[in-house]
Structure 1
Amino acid sequence: MPASLLERFRQAYRDLDLFPLLSAQQIEDFRVDYGQDTLARLEQAIDDADQDGKLIFSGHRGCGKSTLLARFGREMMQQGYFVVFFSIAEMVEMSAVDHINILYAIAVQLLSKATERQVPIPPKEKDAILTWLATTRTETTSRSLTGEAGIGGDILKLVTAKLKTESTFREEIKRTYERRISELVEKVETIAKCVRDATKKEVLVIIDDLDKLDLKLVEEIYKKNINALFQPKIRIVFTIPIAVIRDIELRTILQTASGSPIQQMEVVKFFSRENRHRSGAVPEESKVRLLLEVLQRRIESDLIEPDTAHELILSSGGVMRELVRIARACCSQCLLLLRREPERTEIKITDEILELALRDLRNDFAASLGTSRYQILATTYHHGEPEEVNDPEFLLLLHGLYVLEYRNGDLWYDVHPMLLELLKRRNLIETESEQDG
């Protein structure tokens, strides 16, 4: 029996939640070749790096970094590296991330992946590492988690769970190692050496989702504790928010500490800087087709009008996550209509549905805007850049995707297309008819 219209939209809604693509099945079903140039640059940078090389990877939230990094990890494994890819968000509550629990998470993940892949680490050395992981030592307490795990218990799973959910455990880890960073680094290197000796492969650690941290936390981690974070003599890829690399001091610290340029993933650029607001400007067709393929992998073609799909793509500003977020909101609007009028069989995503979805998403953006932020957006719209790129307010807008960064020869910025209606209502930019006149 053919699936009902309701179920088809439900499936599209579910498929639009599949980011990043991590499993083999997800990749087979939904992968679109995207970011090939960025992927090549990452591979080259790792091959050029020393054994203890560090790489900083940046880009807008939602531009596809996680999917690309997962693919990068798989390809580096094929090239002979022992790759450990993990999300810091799955290891530590994001508001509690610091340089100490990042290093601790690296140790836990290294040993977890070695165990999962049955790397033959000598039992004596592995037992010593597990004992170390299971024990915290502070001025006021010394305890072992072995008892909690029970006989034959999985220390790694217990430690991972506690690191994620228990603030008291994270605080113990912090107090234990904040003055003994070298001991923590030594353990990371010990595990890496065991893996290297057993597999004859170089270790590569890729840490995702650090770019989603609050900007103040990023400064604390990367500016004040960069030396500790970069101590382990293994290759590590760190992610960082695009907004913070506008800070000259922090950018200099990162590039000096890593010894290599910051790698950046660009969003899809439909227009040149000169044509970005020109009435009748034609977007670059190859870029539109790329994002159209992303949609077609998730929404059956008869569920969306072709012209609406085109407009939806342009409304994303070229940010992959925004494309998916808008399409998902459209599916939600269709599902709502079907619940109200279940007998209808002709419902699909039209311009009207798209506008309803954009209205709700636009209102979410508007909730955090005030007069001064509207002015920054207007200036950026008109000039392709703000008055001051290091203005903390501009950086917040960049971090929150209110402003998007583009590159084509030079660096420039534009307002998220979804927000243009808000600027028009405040008479901060002209309407198309006014421009034509």
Structure 2
Amino acid sequence: MAPELRQFFRACNPGKTIRFEDPEERQYYIDFSSIRGGEVIEELGQTIALMDPDPTCQLFSGHIGCGKSTELLRLKAELQDKGFHVVYFESSEDLDMGDVDVSDILLAIAHQVSESLEAAKISTQSSYFTGLLQECVDFLKTPVELGVEAELSLGIGKLTAKTKESPQLRSQLRQYLEPRTESLLSAINRELLQPAQEELTKQGKQGLVVIIDNLDRVDNRRIASGQTQSEYLFITRGEQLGGLQCHVVYTIPLVLMFSNELQTLKNRLGGGTDPMVLPMVPIRLRDGNECQVGMAQLRQMALARAFPNATPEERLAGLTEVFDSPDILDQLCIASGGHVRNLLSLLFACLRKRKSLPITQDSLNLAIQQARDDLTATIDGDEWALLKQVTTQKKVNGEDECQALLRSLFVFEYRNDADGRWFDINPVLAGARELS
């Protein structure tokens, strides 16, 4: 049972998210929920199902690249199976993540929701938005051909596309919309979400769910108020973002989990519920012993890329078609630290260099060394000192340490029922001289 190299190489693309609704891609999915300290996606979905028709606002976070998008697409598929109309979108499609305000997010939500509803043959005509869009164009004094579109999404899409590519136009549009944020929010609820909910009910469906991915990527720079952009958006303006009259799931930056304002975030935007965090897949337990279940699942993740149609037992039987030895596969899993994109990145690097199977010890060593060199080049003296503390204390404290260690992927977070929450360094750094 030899894997087809080209298919295996494409399946290891670290930049590709598994589309859970596609049966072909779903074969690559490994369910890590039982070993990540709680079934996060099940809890998000269960909250929506039990609270419906009352709206909910839930917050979801984790390391960039840890698999959040894949899990959110799984949530979308499961909610659709239960009869919900789900709008999932990547906020980076509409927004410049380095420069975002609340009115930008609300307009992006109106765009994506209206587009999804129109695709489902649900009318989104709105006198408020028709007038607002024309006022915006007149205010900007720039050619944007709105036309007399029947589809609200086209008009909003043209406007947001124009402003995304121009910081000057974006700033001007924000000057016009920000004083009108409350009326914009009210109109989204009154003229878009409420009519949609009524029509969905007539069709025998459950409620409307909006999943906004990639907002965790907003730039964490400090703005004029002295706050970071993420604190301003999700805490200071949290009540407005939480004011949509439908089920909403926001991805938020992991740094907010270490903010002094975490409880304010929880109450203003999260409706009193804690944000859900997707940690790494544990390769070791808090005491340093191997996490056997985590390693077994990571082996399956790697082998599923080569043998997507096979059973777990068949994949293990074909292991030496992919790796020179079982030890090489284990070293790959350990080096990834349970970070799913890192595992794929290392696999991809091995295949790109050697261009043949099986993967050898030399090619894996080279991939790990390159990853270590790239990472260590960005670490300064103070950060090395923090990393040494993490290796012994298994803790990260405060926003500054989070920003320095977690956002940069120098340190990973782990959770399980027995040990709770702990942190450890990215394993590719384990051989660095600075830690000796």
TM class, shorter-length: 0.7 to 0.9
Given that residues 135 and 142 in structure 1 are in contact (C-alpha distance below 8 angstroms), is that contact kept between their aligned partners in structure 2? no
| CA displacement, residues 32-85 of structure 1 (integer Å, 9 cap, x when unaligned) | 223261222112222354723210111122121111111101211222222111
- Summarize the Cα distance change of 1:160–1:303 in structure 2 as closer, same or farther, 3 Å threshold: farther
- Summarize the Cα distance change of 1:29–1:129 in structure 2 as closer, same or farther, 3 Å threshold: farther
Percentage of identical aligned residues: 25
The answer for the alignment partner of 2:40 in structure 1 is: 38
Q: Which amino acid aligns with 1:400?
A: S
Structure 1 residue 209 corresponds to structure 2 residue 214: yes
Structure 1 residue 303 corresponds to structure 2 residue 308: no
The answer for the alignment partner of 2:130 in structure 1 is: 131
- Summarize the Cα distance change of 1:129–1:35 in structure 2 as closer, same or farther, 3 Å threshold: farther
The answer for the alignment partner of 1:14 in structure 2 is: 10
* 1:174-253 aligned within 5 A: 174-189=174-189, 190-200=191-201, 201-215=206-220, 216-249=228-261, 251-253=262-264
Mapped partners of 2:170, 2:300: distance in 1: 43
Equivalent of 1:255, from 257, 263, 266?
266
* 1:20-99 aligned within 5 A: 20-22=17-19, 24-35=22-33, 37-49=39-51, 51-99=54-102
Mapped partners of 2:77, 2:140: distance in 1: 42
Residue aligned with 2:245, SS: coil
Given that residues 58 and 273 in structure 2 are in contact (C-alpha distance below 8 angstroms), is that contact kept between their aligned partners in structure 1? yes
Mapped partners of 1:311, 1:156: distance in 2: 49
Mapped partners of 2:141, 2:132: distance in 1: 13
| CA displacement, residues 73-128 of structure 1 (integer Å, 9 cap, x when unaligned) | 12112222221111111221221222221111111111000011112x2xxx6153
Mapped partners of 1:141, 1:43: distance in 2: 41
| CA displacement, residues 246-295 of structure 1 (integer Å, 9 cap, x when unaligned) | 1131x111211222121122221122211x2xxxx4x2332222122221
Residue aligned with 2:66, SS: coil
Unmatched tracts of structure 1, length 5 or more: 336-345, 430-437
Mapped partners of 2:363, 2:276: distance in 1: 38
| CA displacement, residues 180-234 of structure 1 (integer Å, 9 cap, x when unaligned) | 1112102221211121111114221111111122223312211222122222222
Mapped partners of 2:93, 2:273: distance in 1: 28
Q: Which amino acid aligns with 1:392?
A: D
The answer for the alignment partner of 2:385 in structure 1 is: 375
Mapped partners of 2:400, 2:22: distance in 1: 41
Mapped partners of 2:252, 2:331: distance in 1: 31
Mapped partners of 1:58, 1:151: distance in 2: 37
The answer for the alignment partner of 1:392 in structure 2 is: 400
The answer for the alignment partner of 2:311 in structure 1 is: none
Unmatched tracts of structure 2, length 5 or more: 221-227, 308-318
Q: Which moved more, 1:349-358 or 1:294-303?
A: 294-303
Mapped partners of 2:51, 2:265: distance in 1: 15
| CA displacement, residues 158-196 of structure 1 (integer Å, 9 cap, x when unaligned) | 245335434344334312211111121022212111211
Mapped partners of 2:239, 2:62: distance in 1: 23
Mapped partners of 1:415, 1:49: distance in 2: 39
Residue aligned with 2:60, SS: strand
Mapped partners of 2:299, 2:135: distance in 1: 52
Residue aligned with 1:207, SS: strand
Structure 1 residue 267 corresponds to structure 2 residue 280: yes
| CA displacement, residues 386-406 of structure 1 (integer Å, 9 cap, x when unaligned) | 4xx015144321112111112
Q: RMSD of aligned C-alpha atoms?
A: 2.7
Mapped partners of 1:221, 1:33: distance in 2: 32
Residue 364 of structure 1 and its aligned partner are, at CA, apart by: 1.6
Normalised by the length of structure 1, the TM-score is 0.83
Mapped partners of 1:272, 1:415: distance in 2: 13
- Summarize the Cα distance change of 1:376–1:226 in structure 2 as closer, same or farther, 3 Å threshold: same
Q: Which amino acid aligns with 1:222?
A: F
Residue 26 of structure 1 and its aligned partner are, at CA, apart by: 4.8
Mapped partners of 1:129, 1:334: distance in 2: 59
Residue 414 of structure 1 and its aligned partner are, at CA, apart by: 0.6
The answer for the alignment partner of 2:158 in structure 1 is: 158
- Summarize the Cα distance change of 1:133–1:330 in structure 2 as closer, same or farther, 3 Å threshold: farther
Q: Which amino acid aligns with 2:12?
A: L
Mapped partners of 1:398, 1:320: distance in 2: 15
Runs of 4+ with deviation above 6 angstroms: 150-153
Mapped partners of 2:78, 2:97: distance in 1: 28
Given that residues 255 and 399 in structure 2 are in contact (C-alpha distance below 8 angstroms), is that contact kept between their aligned partners in structure 1? no
Q: Which amino acid aligns with 1:286?
A: V
